[in-house]
């Protein structure tokens, strides 16, 4: 496997140095970019494109939520993994809705940080006790539902089947094995689901599925 290109965006130099020391112990990673705030990160992305960004939330000039939204607008292929001191639902959901693929607390063990990066890179998302599909379903279930019939009219039976499995946290390979399709075909379905639901990540897909009644809370 090629090395995963990483970027760190955090305004605390001591934390950045500690995180770098953790990442250097893993041969799978290559730290290619380091920024002290969101504005600096966005500027640096014009010349360096990482695979995964470790993003702090509270930063000067441009915070992690705003920066994540901008990154996903301009560089949709880049995965964002939030690293924060805050574990309140509001911060978690704001980051995920902005396009983050996972959320970790800064006091996470080094092993969990490494696991989260690998999972985000390979599966597009990372869930732990602070961010579960159950939490997303509960929060999404409190949202006002839209026009279900109109929303579902654009989806065929196979797309809905794949969407259900994606929301159950099955990987592309697991979905392919379960419904007897190739991984490439599943990837195609997944890409169309993101496009049709206008979702940035799995959180958006789950919220859409809850609102339309495809899955229940």
Q: What is the pLDDT of residue 35?
A: 95
Q: What is the pLDDT of residue 97?
A: 82
Are 136 and 203 in contact by the 8 Å Cβ rule? The answer is yes
- pTM to 2 decimals? 0.71
Q: How many residues does the chain have?
A: 217
DSSP state of 3: P
Geometric angle at alpha carbon 39, from 68 and 99, rounded to 5°: 5
The pLDDT tens digits of the residues spanning 95-137 come to 888 889 888 888 889 899 999 999 889 877 787 655 565 556 5
Q: What is the pLDDT of residue 126?
A: 81
| 105 membership: H or E segment, kind and range | strand 102-105
Q: What is the pLDDT of residue 176?
A: 94
Q: What is the number of other CB atoms lying within 10 angstroms of the CB of residue 203?
A: 26
Are 95 and 102 in contact by the 8 Å Cβ rule? The answer is no
For 47, the token pair is 């010349």
Residues whose CB falls within 8 Å of the CB of residue 89, separated by 6 or more in sequence, listed in order: 135, 139
Q: What is the pLDDT of residue 210?
A: 77
**DSSP-derived 3-state class of residue 182:** coil
Residue with structure tokens 């990482």? 50
Name residues of the chain where pLDDT drops below 50: 144-145, 150
**47 φψ region: left (φ > 0), alpha (ψ -120 to 50), beta (else):** alpha
Are 93 and 51 in contact by the 8 Å Cβ rule? The answer is no
Question: Could you tell me the domains of the chain?
Answer: 4-131 (3.40.50.2300), 136-211 (3.40.50.2300)
Q: Which has the closest alpha carbon to 96: 51, 140, 48?
A: 140
DSSP state of 109: -
DSSP β-bridge partners for residue 133 = none
Q: What is the pLDDT of residue 46?
A: 94
Q: What is the pLDDT of residue 196?
A: 87
Q: Buried (b) or exposed (e) across 58-83, using 16+ Cβ within 10 A? A: ebeebbbbebbbbbbeebeebbbbbb
């Amino acid at each position: 496997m090629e090395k995963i290109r990483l970027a760190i965006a955090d305004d605390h130099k001591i934390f950045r140095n500690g995180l770098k020391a953790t990442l250097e112990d893993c041969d799978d990673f290559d730290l290619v970019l380091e920024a002290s705030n969101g504005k600096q990160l966005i500027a640096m992305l014009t010349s360096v494109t990482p695979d995964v960004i470790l993003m702090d939330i509270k930063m000067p000039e441009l915070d992690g939520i705003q920066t994540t939204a901008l990154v996903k607008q301009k560089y949709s292929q880049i995965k964002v993994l939030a690293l924060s001191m805050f574990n309140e639902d509001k911060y978690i959901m704001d980051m995920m809705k902005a396009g983050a693929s996972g959320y970790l607390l800064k006091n996470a063990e080094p092993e969990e940080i490494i696991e989260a990066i690998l999972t985000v890179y390979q599966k597009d998302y990372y869930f732990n006790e602070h961010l579960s599909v159950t939490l997303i379903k509960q929060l999404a279930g409190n949202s006002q539902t839209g026009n279900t019939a109109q929303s579902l009219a654009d989806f065929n039976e196979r797309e809905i089947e794949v969407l259900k499995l994606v929301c159950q946290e099955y990987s592309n390979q697991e979905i392919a094995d379960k419904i007897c399709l190739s991984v490439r075909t599943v990837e195609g379905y997944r890409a169309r689901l993101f496009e049709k639901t206008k979702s940035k990540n799995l959180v958006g897909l789950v919220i859409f599925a809850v609102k339309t009644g495809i899955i229940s809370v």
